[in-house]
A and B are shown apart, each in its own frame.
Chain A
Amino acid sequence: MAGAGIAVVGASLGGLRAAEQLRAAGWRDTITLFGEEPHLPYNRPPLSKEVLAGEAPASGTELRRRPSVQDVEWRLGTAVAAADLTARTLTLTDGSVHLYEGLVAATGVRPRRLPLPGGPPRHVVRTLEDSAALAAELVAGARVLVIGSGFIGCEVAATARTAGCEVTVVAPESEPMLLAVGEDLGRALRHRHEARGVRFRMGHLATALTPRGAVLDDGTELAADVLVEAVGSLPNTEWLATTPGLDLTDGILCDAHLRIGGLSHAVAVGDVARFPNPRYGPVPRRVEHWSVPGDTARHAARTLLAALTDTPRDPTPCAPLPAFWSDQFTLRLQSFGQPSLADRTELLSGDPESPDGDLLYGYYENDRLIGVAALGSPAASAAAARHRTELMTLPEPVV
């Protein structure tokens, strides 16, 4: 086993950061990165924004790689089909077997699809190819139906509207981005979208698709030339199902040090990892924010190296501060902390009735500030960022 090196499965943001952090933590041996996509790691956020709008070339999305990972082995266009975490082997889709000493799982998520057949041309946005295919359809006057009002749905709606499309968003929640930022900020966001011409049918589901559009649960028909499915994601964990005993319900269950299934030589990072964050109690959660692959990679790399080199592990649990942003039209939504867990929301500054001013909301759980979210200009984001120190303070000493 010794000398077989570390295998990283998933060659995107999380996989790249894991390789860099392994080097930073002192690992000089082999690192092999397996990536299903044919591309070197690239940045996904522009795929629903600048790249989708044709404002930035897809080639500009390649992620910066630290010089320290120049000598890692890239196995791109190579999916891992199965893993045996006891024997420490990976089986690739061509049947060949790869031995490893340490494993990093960084396989992310893929878009969930609507369980409905038929419809007009259907799109999702996760990869470079997805973004290019949708971009080709966003011509002025095209009727675009977006199903789902989370951040990808809202961003695609804004980009399509800016391109001159007729855009309608359908979702079962009461307001867009409800799960991420709550009712009040969601409503303000919807008003700003509506002021720019996006239509919303909130509180509705699509129950059938036809070649000319969709039928909603109240019987109304919406005509559409293009359908975008933005209805959440499914973690890519099937390759681990071949190891018995792992909890793969909604991602890979990890402990507070990102170890998989109690094993010391296997860790998970990024969108696919479900781990407890001591900031918000013992419940393990997945967090699909861009900042998390970096934060978890740093911790996971140290966990793994302590095990492989038989040195003491840092006892502090992984406790990243969740942070996400979203760009819609010229508006920036910025969030720090975990607004979704709040029992109370408070307007900290701004006028929600104003069509364009900056807004800042605070989110509380048992009167403790657990999140802030801002909508508007860079100044609003900067105002949100000023609460970061308070949000960083851990609720109680953790061991």
Chain B
Amino acid sequence: MTASAAPRPAGGADPALTSVIGRPDRPLANNSRNTELILLVVSLVVVSGMSLAVQGSVLGEINAGALALPGLLAILFFGAHVAIRFLAPYADPLLLPAVATINGISVVFIRRLDLGRLTPDERIAAGVLGGDGSEALKQYIWAAVAIIGFVALLWIVRDHRTLARFGYIALFTGLVLVLLPAVLPGSLSEINGAKLWIIIPGVGQIQPGEFAKIALLLYFARILVDNRDFLQIVGKFSTLKATPRFLFDAYAPMVSAWLVSLGVLMFEKDLGTSLLYFGLFLVMIYIATNKARWVAIGLVMFMIGAYLAFLVVSRVKLRVEVWLHPFDDPFDKGYQIVQSLLALGSGGLFGAGPGAGSPNLLSLYASTDFVFAAIGEEIGLFGLTALLVLYALIASRGIRAGLDVRDSYGKLLAGGLAFSITLQTFVIVGGVTKLIPLTGLTTPFLAYGGSSLIANWLIIGLLIRISDAGRRPAKVKAPPLQLRDAPTEVVKL
């Protein structure tokens, strides 16, 4: 793919020769970085406000200590901002502030949950980050690692198209990451019935699925771009008379994506991740081919898979029953979703106020799966709506990056990445609000957990890289000299 050299004027009357990537209609001077900086300050004001409210409510006094956590976060976020200034100066200015707001709220709220577990005396002794066993401290460290990873990605990947080269390496990496928990013994891979971890005894655990998601996205983007033309012509039922070889080539991607999803569901007992992988593949094949019939075929296959899962995997059946009638067994099977609804309902329109609710009632999972419901009690419908708007903003700016960028690979990758944020948010938020059956996925940037935080910051890194490419103004080469302007050469005789 080479970008078309659109003969449009850039900044002046001179016909411009565009560079390979970049938009010719963008003036060079305004690269929106100052907008990003101002929005970042706004987002830190929001995070600081929340931190002050939490401290005032939980500790009963507001002092400068409440600003320490936002201050520490500011170092990370401004660091990311500075890195963008140098490494992706034309990137979309909304992405970083939106992500920083959610991530900042996450750390402050996890700090609030830490405090909720402590007695009043322990709270005062806990200090800014809560010392040992504090999830807020770990979440802050993970955020730091994630942002370092984000910067490193921008540093190393200067042109997103280079990633296309690693399509098959990505596939291999992705499959290993997906399969590892399935083949590892339960003691090294199973937490709360879901076999989707790699547990390194004494060190910690990572959720390889979060990283596999990115690897598979990179692979999907590569093969779908490669086979785009081919995939566009198949799928019509008239082509079913084609040769077996043709059929295999045409349907192999869809079938293998289906099998991988089904495998994740069967062997790792993880409905959420399975849904995420398959949903991403469907959206990407649709973007690549613009053929709705692929989505139709995919949905039929998904329903077959879901029905099989419903029959075979008792966990799935249970989830559906609990979804339909959570209040039938409010103390056991329905406990989590019931507590989630009670928390959300107690929050109502305006919420109890940061620090003034009882989010710790959501038990062990208040900081992970149920973080959205837990925070919902304190910030209410208005606060949660604002959060949803931020997610929608990230996703739509991601798609915007796909629209802006000129190469198919970039478009496909941006679309897939943006949709991964959407789908993940939809599945977990829909789950804890009883819109759909509950499946365990992390709420991007908000839930406690390093794997998710790092993986999602890498996704933002990729989106920023693509949006930088899409918004970069065309390099204006010096126009070729016209003969009439050339100085007359004095020829010595």
Whether chain B is bound by chain A comes out as: no
